[in-house]
Structure 1
Amino acid sequence: MSHLMIFGAGYSGKAIARALQHTMDGISGTTRSDDNISNLQSLAIAPFIFSGAALSDELRAELKHVTHLVQSIAPGASGDPLLRLCDGDIKSLMPKLQWAAYLSTVGVYGNHDGDWVDEDTPCRPVSVRSTERVDAEAAWAEAANKPNVPLCVLRLSGIYGPGRNGLINMEKGTARRLVKKGQVFNRIRVEDIGAATAFLVAKNAGGIFNVTDDEPAPPQDVVAFAANLMGVQPPAEQAFDTAELSPMARSFYGENKRVSNRKLRDLGFSFSFPNYRQSLRQLWRDGVWRDE
């Protein structure tokens, strides 16, 4: 019997559950809030409350049956919450565990002045949150290696999809066309995160994989394309240097790189949404851009 547990069944976690719903005999997921319980149940995800501080008796009992794990909760200053609670001994919590995935970020690569990076590129994180991710990746690699459990570290680029996209931002009036010379970002459609995870489960794969689109692009171009689809005027361009931004938003622009997905493609995976134009067109055409 195969049983998937998703620690942090949020936007990406729910997409992963959808992609594996016909493959797994059971799917469970954690949430921090009682408000999300009915939503998880509607997706056939058995819900468990997990704040990161302690594992309830009910959750511990559920983990005894887990064969496949996806960890999507971000680490903090004290490290990965799940590994902390089991002292790095994942088999003590999940004796039937056969495969695990850790959802990380392409932020671990840091800044490369617009050059291409791949899974062999050394990590040189800039922000505190990316440094914490590098540490968590290493901790998960060590924890999975001890019991010889295949581990996939999925380095995700900017996540978007139904309910979270440039069309929504245009409608809300929050879209901005910030221009910084030479700046590009990769993106990833949330359904492709789910599909890639299901693909790697089927392969029983292990290793580090960039889960990202084909086309790193200037952010202002994406905003202009969304506006064109909607038949409205895009917001005026703003120079990055003089724009008012939060420290976190500004820090994202300090990391400029082009992230390759060749390793995942060479393994045989095909992205359904390989670039932002194809993806936004589909969201707009099918009228699902508002639906999370």
Structure 2
Amino acid sequence: MQSFGKPRILIIGCGDIGLRVAKQLAKGCRVYALTSQKTRFQELRAVGAIPILGDLDKPDSLWRLSGLAETVIHLAPPQNTGHRDCRTRNLLRILAQGSDTVRRLIYVSTTGVYGDHKGARVSEITPVNPQSERAKRRVDAEDSLRLWAPAHGVVLTILRVPGIYAADRLPVERIQARTPALIAVEDAYSNHIQSDDLARLVCAAVYHGKPQRVINACDGGETKMGDYFDQVADAFGMDRPPRLPGEDLQKIVSPMLWSFMRESRRVTNQRLSELKTPLRYPSVAAFLKTISKNP
């Protein structure tokens, strides 16, 4: 396709973060965005992206992606069941047909691949130890990409991302519902990144990502989950959530929520400096100061 001299970038999985990334990159690049819904075309065009119709669950619908762009930003999550990420495998099969067009691929994974470390620090060299099916699918995606990229001369950057937050992505409803948190002695460390900061890091990886590199895209904070809820409650002038022992809490929350609450790790971010993009919000507390209703 004609690129009019601009670098061509394809975004796979253009949700909230993808839209933020597309808006930034469209200023200097020709940005394509894969979507399975025609109803999203207008929204994608509004941020400067060119919509491409296709569904990662339907490989025959992906033919338009072959040879389309030099850089691919893969933000799509795996399907909801199984231990393999079939969506990533479908994507790689079609990209391999593009006559070596792709030169760089950025994959946004999750820090969930590390599993539970009982509060210990983990870094990019810590072996993965996924304990949920969701995390196992992410490890499968990473493994597939790490095999595929060097075989096709592609520079691969994997960004492992923790809990994403923004003004409209805070646990306000959870706090309003009085959903309990764990008592302090049993509480787990949680890790965070603000959504605009994450979008900026993804864009930075397009230009500064080192070959076959894993980077923890987090703020490096060491806040326990219950304390995080308390910070949000204080910022909005709400009552702090009650606390319960894990034995009692497990009985009243969903299995998925419990799987998040029982894994504890402190994710370090020393490699983040490689992307040459300082965080605007180095902590949740720094962000909450900008929106607090209870100064």
Match of 2:101 among 93, 96, 100: 96
Match of 1:270 in 2: 278
Q: Are 2:108 and 2:161, in contact at CA under 8 Å, matched by a contact in 1?
A: yes
- CA RMSD in angstroms comes to 2.3
Is 1:279 aligned with 2:287? Answer: yes
The gaps in structure 2 that reach 5 residues or longer are 1-5
Which residue, 193, 206, 211 being the options, matches 1:201?
206
Aligned: 1:48 with 2:56: no
Q: Within 2, Cα distance between the matches of 1:160 and 1:242?
A: 27
- Give yes or no for the alignment of 1:242 onto 2:245: no
Unaligned 5+ runs, structure 1:
286-292
Deviation at 1:52, TM superposition (A): 1.8
C-alpha distance in 1 between matches for 2:173 and 2:153? 43
| 1:71 has 2:74 as partner | yes
Which whole-Å CA distance do the structure 2 matches of 1:117 and 1:73 have between them? 25
Q: Which residue of 1 aligns with 2:148?
A: 143
Alignment TM-score, normalising by the size of structure 2: 0.86
Corresponding position of 1:110: 115
* Partner amino acid, structure 2, of 1:274: P
CA 1:64–1:101 in structure 2 vs 1: closer, same or farther (change >3 Å)?
same
Match of residue 261 from structure 2: 253
Instruction: Pick closer, same or farther for the CA change 1:167–1:94 going to 2, 3 Å.
Output: farther
1:47 Cα offset (Å):
1.8
Aligned to 2:26: 21
* Pair 222,37 (structure 1): closer, same or farther in 2 beyond 3 Å: same
Deviations 1:188-231 (A, max 9, x none): 11111111122221224230000011213112222222222222
Instruction: Please state how far the C-alpha of 1:40 moved relative to its aligned partner.
Output: 1.6
CA–CA separation in structure 2 for the residues paired with 1:267 and 1:62:
27
Any conservation in 2 of the 1:114–1:182 contact (CA below 8 Å)? Answer: no
Following TM superposition, by how much is the alpha carbon of 1:86 offset from its aligned partner in structure 2, in angstroms?
4.9
Q: 3-state SS of the aligned residue for 2:41? A: helix
1:134 and 2:158 correspond: no
Residues matched between the structures, number: 280
Higher mean C-alpha displacement, 258-267 vs 107-116: 258-267
Higher deviation after alignment, 123-132 or 13-22: 13-22
